[in-house]
Amino acid sequence: MNIVHCFIIAVVAGIAAGALITWLFGKFPDKWLQDYGVTPQDPDYRPSKRMRPFPEGLIAVLFCVICYCVTVYFCRDEYIYAFRPLHLLVIFLVIPVLMLVMMADKLNRIIPDQFSIYIAACGVLSVVADLVEGAVWFSPDAKWWVIILNKVIASVVGGGVIWLIGFLSITFLGREGMGMGDMRLLFATGLITGCYGLVVLVYVSIFSAVIFAIPLLIRKRKRIAAEKKRIAEAEDPRAEKLLIQREKAKIHFAEDPDYMAFGPFLALGCAVFIIMEPFFFQKMFQTLMLLGVYF
pLDDT at 1 over 80: no
pLDDT at 166 over 80: no
pLDDT at 176 over 70: no
Q: What is the average per-residue pLDDT within 8-12?
A: 98
Task: Name which residue leads in pLDDT, 169 or 99.
Answer: 99
pLDDT at 269 over 90: yes
Q: What is the average per-residue pLDDT within 82-101?
A: 97
DSSP state of 197: H
Q: What is the average per-residue pLDDT within 154-166?
A: 89
Q: Please report, rounded to a whole number, the percentage of residues in the chain having pLDDT higher than 90.
A: 66
Q: Provide the pLDDT for residue 245.
A: 84
Q: Provide the pLDDT for residue 247.
A: 80
Measure the N-to-C terminal CA separation of the chain; round to a whole number of Å: 32
Q: Provide the pLDDT for residue 153.
A: 96
The predicted model scores a pTM of: 0.91
pLDDT band (50, 70, 90) for residue 46: confident
pLDDT single digits (tens) 197-228? 999 999 999 999 999 999 989 988 998 888 88
pLDDT single digits (tens) 104-114? 999 999 999 99
Q: Which amino acid is at 26?
A: G
DSSP state of 169: I
Q: What is the average per-residue pLDDT within 192-200?
A: 95
Residues 6+ positions from 163 with CB-CB distance below 8 Å: 178, 180, 183
For 195-222, give one letter per residue: b (16+ CB within 10 A) or e: bbbbebbbebbeebbeeeeeeeeeeeee
pLDDT at 261 over 90: no
pLDDT at 175 over 70: no
Task: Name which residue leads in pLDDT, 209 or 174.
Answer: 209
- Axis-axis angle for helices 3-25, 58-75 (nearest 10): 150
